Amino acid sequence: MKKRGVVGIGFAVALFISVLCAAPASAAEVLKGKSVNINKATAEELMKNVPLMTPELAKNIVKYRKDNGDYQQKEELLQVKGMNRDLLKKWNNFFILEGIGGKDCTC
């Protein structure tokens, strides 16, 4: 009977270790995505590439760009309805700025 208990404990330990190894190492691994150019991305691209991006916020980001011209800096996203500092901080590495132009830019 003692052998059976030892085998049961060994199995439990092995199962526990395999679960730990399968778990993500950090929150950053859970939030996998791709960088997206906020001056070119469509709402669909934002939702596809930025973890936990909502359809409404993605549309607001694109609408703000259409109404005001290209984003000059990432902090300008704080002017978008639904965006806040916490979200900008979480998503900062997913947003890139390229092709900065003015409101009437055709670049």
What type of residue sits at position 5?
G
> Quick check: 2 pLDDT over 50?
yes
Q: Using 50, 70 and 90 to split pLDDT, how confident is the model at 83? A: very high
| Separation of alpha carbons 91 and 85, rounded Å | 10
Burial class (CB in 10 A: 0-12, 13-18, 19+), 91: buried
> Quick check: 17 pLDDT over 90?
no
Domain ranges (residues) in the chain:
29-96
DSSP at 32: -
Mean pLDDT of 30-53: 88
What type of residue sits at position 2?
K
CB count within 10 Å of CB 36 equals: 21
Residue, of 29 and 32, whose pLDDT is higher: 32
Single pTM value for the model:
0.65
> Quick check: 32 pLDDT over 80?
no
Q: What is the CATH number of domain 29-96?
A: 1.10.150.320
* Helical (H) or strand (E) element with 16: helix 2-22
Give 51-67 pLDDT, tens digit per residue.
999 999 999 999 999 99
**Average pLDDT over all residues of the chain:** 78
